Structure 1
Amino acid sequence: MGEGLYASVLKKAFPCLPIEEEGRLNDAKIRENFIERLFIYHDWQVTMEHGFTGKELVNFHTRHKLALMAHHPHKSRELGRLVGTLDKENSSTLMLEYLQGLMAILSFIATPAKHANVLQHCLGYFKKVLSAQDKQELLNTISNYQRGLLPLIVPITLLKHHLSHHPQPYLEMQSYLSPYPEELMLRNHI
């Protein structure tokens, strides 16, 4: 079945806009990925409304760094290096290249192994403040998620619990921990 006229016009006008076939949204992982891409794309649009600056790009990339890492760690690092090349002469070209790279990375479905890697990375921010027992509990929860025994929301909720008791500004700003409204409950199913 071919692409509809509306979808074709939309893709032409907004080539980086996340679009997904309706039937594919019945798959929980694809649905979660699509909604995450929509919210990050919206954040990009809001950020760009205020004007494009190097500082805005760095802040945007920093906010979504862990989310990108969960989708494709290698390409995420490449995109980070691209941010570092920004100067006034190449800003409009770089902005488009960044957005295309961002959406390409996010189109990869994050796997349990990649989520576990990001969660363990987050745990590193607590190494000096959590007890050995709390660290082990979080590691066990991450492992149980990775083995398919728990949904993703469980280790994330535990991580956010520790974050509420031991604030970590870098983690608090990460979209990865709250990529969209909790009421959507998408991470309860993956």
Structure 2
Amino acid sequence: MSIPVGISACVLGHKVRFDGGHKQNRFVVDELANYVDFRPVCPEIGIGMTIPRPTIRLLQLPDGDERLVEVKNQDKDHTSKMKDFAHKQVSTFDELCGYVVCAKSPTCGMERVKLYIPNGNTVPGGSVGVYTKELMAKMPWLPVEEDGRLQDPVLRENFVARIFSLNDFYLSLRENRTPGAFVDFHSRYKLVLMAHSPMAYKKMGRLVASVKEWDMDEFYYEYRQQLMDAIKERASRKNKTNVLMHLQGYFKRSLTKRQKQELSELIDNYREGHLPILAPLVLIKHYLNEYPVPYLQLQTFLDPYPQELKLRYGL
């Protein structure tokens, strides 16, 4: 079953932009689409605007209020319609595991969207698109990323990993909210958490230890938010090196001196930035096949998403 992911329709290649064009993203269309079921939305079309249509932008009024107005006629204000549309759309998104939005868009941009003041100047730092602001406010756990930022291999890998993790969370726990199910899920994500945030790893360990004291529905939502907050943090090379060394420790009684040295050298080369993380991981997975360790075989860190996506080649 494909993973449901929302997307700005123009990023998927639909010709819905103000000038009748699109902003198709090749990674999204050629690679990620093989694993997810994209749910395209064009907020402008959603509120009844035409193709082509007048250009719109964000305008900050003297009182600080932000409005979505037409560039050539600022009296034409689409803010209320857009907020209403966003509210209705988000209420149907419970099953989504991610969302790809269009960068710089006054409706869909995730950050640094140009925010104008009446004299035509812009506010430093910009703002967030009206539609995406509602999306992120109502669904703070949801992985959201801009099309342009997906060109960065680190951001791309992090976003895709979060999509697959949230989907795994839903498949594992949406219909099975029991203490044992939460413990099992958390056990599989220990190394993922260790790589992304050692602090969250400790905090969530304490949370899971108290699971029997919680109402299961409340725990479900709390755990989901903490999990997604934790893995949104970029997994540093230092943290991932610590995870690799942790994995290496499970084989200290199985490997020969030469094998230990070979693995240590690969981990050191990764730590120093000379090799991608795939180099030590391939050898670790080889040893895991030779000398099975049930706990490690269940670790999501080893295979967080399909290897065909080639996301770890540049990490």
2:127 pairs with 1:7: no
Residue 111 of structure 1 corresponds to: 236
In the alignment, does 2:303 pair up with 1:186? no
Of 280, 290, 293, the match for 1:155: 280
Q: Residues 47-126 of structure 1: matches in 2 within 5 Å?
A: 47-87=172-212, 89-126=214-251
1:89 shift after superposition: 4.4
* 1:100-124: CA deviation from partner (whole Å, max 9, x where unpaired): 1111110111111111100000011
Instruction: Indicate which of 287, 291, 306 corresponds to 1:166.
Output: 291
1:133 pairs with 2:258: yes
Q: Quick one: higher RCO (CA 8 Å, sep 6+), 1 or 2?
A: 1
What runs of 5+ residues in structure 1 fail to find an aligned partner?
Answer: none
Quote how far apart the aligned CAs of 1:49 are. Answer: 3.0
Task: Spell out structure 1 runs of 4+ moving beyond 6 A.
Answer: none
- Report the secondary structure of 1:115's partner residue: helix
Unmatched 5+ stretches in structure 2: 1-112, 114-126
Match of 2:55 in 1: none
The aligned residue for residue 163 of structure 2 is 38
| Distance across 1 between alignment mates of 2:175 and 2:222 | 19
Matched, 1:144 2:269: yes
Structure 1 counterpart SS, 2:215: helix
Give the greater-gyration-radius structure (CA).
Answer: 2
Q: Which moved more, 1:81-90 or 1:68-77?
A: 81-90
Q: 1:47 to 1:22 in 2, by over 3 A?
A: same
**1:24 maps to 2:24:** no
How far apart are the structure 2 equivalents of 1:110 and 1:161?
Answer: 23
In 1: Cα distance, 2:217 partner to 2:167 partner: 19
Quote the offset at 1:68 in angstroms. Answer: 0.7
Once residues 130 and 250 of structure 2 are traced to their aligned partners in structure 1, the CA distance between those partners, rounded to angstroms, is: 48
TM-score by length of 1: 0.94
* Cα offset, 1:178, TM superposition: 0.4
Whole-angstrom CA distance in 2 between matches of 1:185 and 1:146: 20
Listed one character per residue, the Cα deviations across residues 139-170 of structure 1 (whole Å, up to 9, x for unaligned) are: 11011011110011111111001111111111
1:52 is paired with a residue whose SS is: coil
Q: 1:76 to 1:89 in 2, by over 3 A?
A: closer
Percent identity over the alignment?
41
Structure 2 length-normalised TM: 0.58
How big is the shift at 1:11? 2.9
The separation in 2 between residues aligned to 1:148 and 1:88, in whole angstroms, is 44
**Partners in 1 of 2:196 and 2:291 — Cα distance?**
27
Q: Mark the CA change 1:13 to 1:51 in structure 2 (over 3 Å): closer, same or farther.
A: farther
Separation in 1, partners of 2:227, 2:148 = 24
Q: Distance in 2 between matches of 1:89 and 1:58?
A: 13
Question: What is the identity, as a one-letter code, of the residue corresponding to 2:198?
Answer: P
Which is helix-richer, 1 or 2?
Answer: 1
Distance (whole Å) between structure 2 residues aligned to residue 22 and residue 46 of structure 1 = 27
| Partner AA of 2:311 in structure 1 | L
C-alpha distance in 2 between matches for 1:146 and 1:130: 21
